[in-house]
Amino acid sequence: MLRDITLGQYYQTDSVIHRLDPRVKLVATFVFIISLFLVDNFIGYLIAAAFLACMVKISKVPFRFMVKGMKSIVFLLLVAVVFNLFLTPGEPLISVWKLTVTKEGLRLAAMMAVRLVFLIIGSSLMTLTTTPNNLTDGMEKLMSPLKRLHVPVHEVAMMMSIALRFIPILLEETDKIMKAQIARGADFESGNLIKKAKSLVPLLVPLFISAFRRANDLAMAMEARCYRGGEHRTKMKPLIYHRRDRYAYAVLLGYAVVSVYFGRIFTL
Amino acid sequence: MGIIETKKLIFEYIRRDEEGNVEGITRAIDEVDLDIKQGDFVAILGHNGSGKSTLAKHLNAILYPTEGTVWVDGKDTAKEEYLWEIRQNAGMVFQNPDNQIIGQVVEEDVGFGPENMGVPTKEIWERVEESLKAVGMYQYRKHSPNKLSGGQKQRVSIAGVIAMHPKCIILDEPTAMLDPNGRKEVVRAVRALNHAEGITVVLITHYMEEIIHADKAIVMDQGHIAMQGSPKEIFSKVEKLKELRLDVPQVTLLAYELKKRGVALPDGILTKEELIEALSGISHIPWGKAKE
């Protein structure tokens, strides 16, 4: 159950999207997310959906992988929808007890749901098509101007890439600890929210201990392999823009212009 | 001078209570003298807490001696200016395969060491290819390490170390978390490296059958060297090994028991084949001795 979260999980296949420079994909994801929040009409979302669908198709990653990642945010999605649905003032549609669904609320809730779903699919697409190392390389390179301000860009990038690498391992471990505790009569399922949260404490303690132990081992292994920060380091896969990356930027610019024009400025 | 040499090596852990007061001092390594020659395959044995892992960490400058000296390729590990050279020359493979793989793709992980050393990009690729081929993992170069078996993961870790072109590899219980098949895989890969590439191997283990092919075996107990010699010499002293709480391989144990019952067998039989050969050369086996 815990293994279903796909964020940070690379899907191995060969497609144009996989081969793109990670910087392009990072910028594209960023632009796509901004476009989602700028757009506020139906056509805008239709364009975003079409763009996303094309990218998913080109990436050759099975769609179910992205849906899998979505399961983890169902709760967040519900909260966002429910709050927007009932707490937006405006023209009332249905009224049950003290709760009123307004027309504006319905519209906002639907928009919020679509935004969140697209956001997750969009960012999963990035992480599914880019190896975490590649991803952090991209971030490192994009943020390298910050080095002059003494921001530890390389260190942050390395931490992120390691965190991403350990997500599946720690999830598997959580699963194992949970099963071991269930076998000895622990109950993670019943009770209200507070009780459920409390039952997670005995799960977190061994998980933290093991995470620290792993961190210690990993630090030692990295030092043993001559890791000493970003200085003097060369790259096995240095980032170089190719022709396809320039095309991708052009496509992205096209999408941004069309999306903002139809989704915000142009009105029927 | 050999590739690795230690002289009167002592290492002490300081135990502290919760307030940080010194509770006592544990001597993990006690006056160990080692001399390992280039190209040797040396196995270090010992039960838990015998100090064998602590010793291994000294050979890669992860720990520094409390007293005494360690030289790797003629360089004193306590001297800071040699640190990176020593770590490059003496590569280290650890026990838990999950906790030493940094890359999300096999080839990226193997490239991690050369990247740190500042090797030019083109050469990194050559090194990655040659090291993955050396451990027989080249066809998995694009895979995620999470999807590999334990033995395969350890072979990737070994490749990650050879990509740094070390003169010697120290393996700290690389097979402790593996199943029997994984263990065989790893030991085979290590032996191949020793034979084909001439890399010095220091294998730390508590599985006796893994040391059969070593040139030299060292048995550690309570921080000092209890026995050393060729595997044959070590295994001929079954009583002593039992005393040190080490398991003797089944074949050796069988030969030992037979000998005790009066079968004329040589000492230190290590493999099934040797035992069969020795037994078939004996004309009279006193099977029914008890009945007569």
Residue contact A227–B112, C-beta within 8 A: yes
Question: Nearest to residue A251, comparing CAs of A50, A15, A115?
Answer: A50
Query: What number is the average pLDDT over the span B157-167?
Result: 92
Q: Which residues pair with B172 in a beta bridge?
A: B204
The answer to the question of residue B95 being in a domain is yes
- With 0.95 as the threshold, say if the pTM is over it: no
Of A227, A228, A236, the CB nearest to B111: A236
At a CB cut-off of 8 Å and minimum separation 6, what does B108 contact? A131, A133, A236, A237
Residues A96 and A122 in one domain: yes
Nearest CA in chain A to B127: A236
Question: Residue B92 forms beta bridges with which residues?
Answer: B170
Same domain? A92 vs A103 = yes
Residues A46-72 as b or e (16 or more Cβ within 10 Å = b): ebbeebbeebbeebebeeebbebbbee
- Give B2's pLDDT tier (boundaries 50, 70, 90): confident
Residue B26 lies inside a defined structural domain of this protein = no
Do residue A215 and residue A155 come from a single domain? yes
Beta strand pairing status for B168-172 and B200-205? parallel
CB of B96 within 8 Å of any CB in chain A? yes
- Assess whether A180 and A123 both reside in one domain: no
Do both A251 and A217 map to the same domain?
no
Domain count, chain A: 2
pLDDT at A240 over 70: yes
Pair (A90, A195) in one structural domain: no
**Cβ–Cβ gap A169/B116 under 8 Å:** no
Query: Which residue has 């995470």 as its token pair?
Result: A211
Q: Are A175 and A3 in contact (CB under 8 A)?
A: yes
Which H or E element spans position B187?
helix B180-192
Give every CB contact of residue B93 below 8 A, 6+ residues apart in sequence.
Answer: B100, B154, B157, B158, B161, B169, B170, B171, B172, B174
**Cβ neighbours for A36, distance < 8 A, ≥ 6 positions apart:** A48, A115, A118, A119, A122
Q: Are residues A225 and A166 in the same domain?
A: yes
| Same structural domain, A24 and A125 | yes
In terms of DSSP bridges, do strands B168-172 and A92-96 run parallel, antiparallel, or are they unpaired? unpaired
Q: Are residues A192 and A252 in the same domain?
A: no
B269 touches chain A (CB under 8 A): no
- Strand B216-221, strand B22-36: pairing: unpaired
Using a CB-CB cut-off of 8 Å, the residues of chain B touching A227 are: 112, 116
Which pLDDT does position B283 carry in this prediction?
63
The answer to whether residue B239 sits within a structural domain is no
B167 touches chain A (CB under 8 A): no
The residue assigned the tokens 């270090």 is: B44
CB contact under 8 A, A217 and B108: no
CA distance B5 to B2: 6
In a domain, B281, yes or no: no
State whether residue B172 is helix, strand or coil. Answer: strand
Separation between Cα atoms, residue A75 and residue A193, nearest integer Å = 13
Pick A173 or A191 by higher pLDDT.
A173
**Would you state the pLDDT for residue B292?**
42
Q: Is B146–A168 a contact, with Cβ atoms under 8 angstroms apart?
A: yes
Q: Can you give the residue range of the structural domain that contains B123?
A: 38-61+71-231
- What is the C-alpha separation between B204 and B40, in angstroms, rounded? 14
According to the per-residue pLDDT averaged within each range, which of A80-89, A222-231, B117-126 is highest?
A: B117-126
Confirm whether B116 is domain-assigned: yes
**Min CA distance, B146 vs chain A (Å)?**
8
Judgement on whether residues A43 and A141 belong to the same structural domain of the protein: no
My answer on whether A210 and A142 are in the same domain is: yes
Q: Is B118 on the interface with A (CB under 8 A)?
A: yes
Bridge partners for B200 per DSSP: B168
Q: Do A225 and B121 touch (CB under 8 A)?
A: no
CATH number at residue B160: 3.40.50.300
Please, what is the Cα angle at B285 between B283 and B286, to 5 degrees?
140
Bridge-based pairing state of the strands B224-229 and B216-221: antiparallel
**Same domain, yes or no: A103 and A151:** no
pLDDT greater than 50 at residue A125: yes
Picking from A132, A221, A236, the nearest residue to B115 by CB comes out as A236
Quick one: pLDDT at residue A6? 46
Could you read off the pLDDT of B209-258 as tens digits, one per residue?
Answer: 788 888 999 998 888 888 888 888 888 888 888 888 887 888 888 888 88
Q: In the numeric block, which tokens belong to residue B231?
A: 């595997």
Residue of A nearest to B170 (CA): A224
Searching chain A, which residue's CA lies closest to the CA of residue B113?
A225
The verdict on residue B98 lying in a domain is yes
Domain with A40, as residue range(s), is 1-130+240-268
Per-residue pLDDT tens for B63-74?
A: 888 888 888 888
Give the number of domains in chain B. Answer: 1
**In this complex, which of B104, B113, B142 lies closest to A132 when CB atoms are compared?**
B104
Exposed (0-12), middle (13-18) or buried (19+): which is A154, by Cβ within 10 Å?
A: middle
Whether B182 shows a pLDDT value over 50: the answer reads yes
Closest chain B residue to the Cα of A12, Cα to Cα: B143
Instruction: Looking at the complex, report in whole angstroms how far the Cα of residue A188 sits from the nearest Cα belonging to chain B.
Output: 27
- Residue B184 neighbours by CB under 8 Å, 6+ apart: B151
- Which of B92, B93, B132 minimizes the C-alpha distance to B111? B132
